[in-house]
């Protein structure tokens, strides 16, 4: 048996929550390794809907250990609110079932303030962040002025960290014409939240090592998607962390050898939230139909997602860069009743054909997709649980995707319900 890392292969919102929930029933430990509460996972278990942002998807199962790794930036108030919300839904979360890396960095109110002020100042050139302070929190981490979970246990250290933070942030906020941060209030807020958060703090790396030594199955849960990776995505319209599977090791404190099979979650069409290039976007009835049928609204922000045809070039690049071994194809049922489907197999730029997603911003904005057209199907695939029940045209569409992206389909999802999943290859047994 091997461990599994789950990552998005597009621009996020690929349906990772359901797949991770499905896989977590087979795992012993579930680990979040990057991102913050800008990510959103929706789980449907026994007809009950759970919306998660920071918490690993394993928390809805009482017999699993959930870990938030050091690669995640944590808003303490958002996390505690999420825990309370799940408790109200009957989910018991305690330090026995949830551990937070003591060396994880915190997101504070000042980070959100700076995030929103910057976006406002950018005007039409805004990046489209969620305004939740993710980027500024990662900036502080890299600049070595972040407040970490463990700092909440040392008041003297906390005092020093706050002074370092405010020296930087208040200068920026003043320059942007935004309200400055009150030191006393920030300190009081942190002192108040510390006893609520610290019981969950632990050596996450050690918990993962102990589980690995005992032969426990570990599921590493990523957020966002490959094309939002700060290095390999559509920069600057990206998130502030590395979203590829290699981050699972660094962001949780384990050896790269511990991360086994890499499963790329891939929507059967393409969506994107916020600004940035989107070669296959359909600003027409096709895009509207995909959005309506797919209920394409962000779990965290509620913003409508931009919709378009499947971009095989982009996903193939995610497969190669991210070391994806197999694909979990989601939302196939949304494509029911389309007379014709299209798959982008290349781009055209000034008469040249490109077989890769370009890095340069000019090329990203000017490339034109080259499509292969495939006949659609009228038969419903919603809730299908057997490969043999799929329409022949749907199987042909799946095979074309496999051919173009260079990776096999391991799982197929046909509805939000966790049981409506077709297992082709078990990632844990690869």
CA distance 73 to 34: 7
CA distance 349 to 359: 13
CA distance 307 to 256: 35
Q: Is the separation of the CB atoms in 331 and 69 below 8 Å?
A: no
Say which of 13, 115, 333, 420 is annotated catalytic: 13
- Hunting for tokens 């173009």 — which residue is that? 404
Q: Is the separation of the CB atoms in 420 and 18 below 8 Å?
A: no
**Nearest CA to 101 among 62, 148, 143?**
148
Strand 4-8 to 218-221 pairing: parallel
CA dihedral 362, 366, 367, 373 (to 10 degrees): 150
CA distance 189 to 113: 16
CA distance 42 to 157: 37
Q: Is 417 a catalytic residue?
A: no
**Nearest CA to 368 among 353, 395, 348, 350?**
348
CA distance 414 to 321: 27
Q: Which tokens sit at 405?
A: 């992206």
Report how far apart the first and last C-alpha atoms of the chain are (Å, whole number).
Answer: 7
Q: Is 41 a catalytic residue?
A: yes
Say which of 21, 37, 41, 75 is annotated catalytic: 41
Residue 391 neighbours by CB under 8 Å, 6+ apart: 377, 378, 379, 381
**Nearest CA to 55 among 18, 81, 23, 22?**
81
Q: Which tokens sit at 24?
A: 């977590």
Backbone angles phi, psi at 101, to 5 degrees: -60, 125
Q: Residues with catalytic annotation?
A: 13, 41
């Amino acid at each position: 048996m091997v461990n599994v890392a789950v990552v998005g292969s597009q621009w996020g919102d690929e349906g990772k929550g359901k797949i991770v929930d499905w896989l977590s029933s087979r795992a012993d430990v579930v680990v979040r390794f990057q991102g913050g509460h800008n990510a959103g996972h929706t789980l449907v278990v026994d007809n009950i809907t759970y919306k998660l942002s920071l918490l690993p998807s394993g928390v809805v199962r009482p017999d699993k250990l959930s870990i938030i790794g050091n690669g995640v930036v944590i808003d303490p108030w958002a996390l505690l609110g999420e825990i309370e919300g799940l408790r109200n839904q009957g989910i018991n979360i305690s330090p026995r079932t949830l551990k937070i890396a003591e060396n994880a960095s915190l997101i504070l109110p000042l980070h959100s303030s700076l995030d929103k002020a910057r976006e406002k100042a950018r005007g039409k050139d805004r990046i489209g962040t969620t305004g939740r302070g993710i980027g500024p929190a990662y900036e502080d981490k890299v600049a070595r002025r972040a407040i970490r979970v463990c700092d909440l246990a040392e008041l003297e250290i906390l005092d020093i960290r706050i002074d370092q933070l405010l020296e930087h942030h208040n200068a920026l906020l003043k320059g942007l014409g935004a309200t400055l941060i009150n030191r006393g209030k920030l300190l009081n807020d942190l002192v108040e939240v510390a006893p609520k958060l610290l019981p969950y703090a632990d050596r996450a790396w050690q918990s993962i090592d102990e589980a690995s030594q005992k032969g426990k199955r570990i599921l590493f849960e990523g957020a966002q998607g490959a094309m939002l990776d700060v290095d390999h995505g559509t920069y600057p319209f990206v998130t502030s962390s590395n979203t590829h599977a290699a981050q699972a090791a660094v962001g949780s404190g384990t050896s790269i050898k511990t991360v086994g099979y890499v499963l790329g979650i891939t929507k059967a069409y393409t969506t994107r939230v916020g600004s940035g290039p989107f070669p296959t976007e359909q600003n027409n009835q096709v895009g509207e139909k995909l959005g309506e049928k797919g209920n394409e609204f962000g779990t965290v922000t509620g913003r409508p997602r931009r919709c378009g045809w499947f971009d095989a070039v982009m996903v193939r690049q995610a497969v190669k860069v991210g070391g994806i071994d197999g694909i979990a194809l989601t939302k196939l049922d949304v494509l029911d009743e389309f007379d014709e489907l299209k798959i982008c197999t290349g781009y055209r730029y000034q008469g040249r054909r490109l077989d890769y997603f370009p890095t340069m911003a000019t090329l990203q904005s000017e490339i034109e997709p080259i499509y292969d057209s495939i006949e659609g199907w009228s038969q419903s695939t919603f809730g299908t649980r057997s490969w043999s029940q799929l329409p022949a045209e749907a199987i042909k569409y799946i095979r074309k995707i496999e051919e173009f992206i260079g990776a096999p389909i391991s799982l197929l999802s046909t509805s939000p319900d966790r049981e409506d999943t077709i297992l082709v290859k078990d990632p844990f047994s690869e």
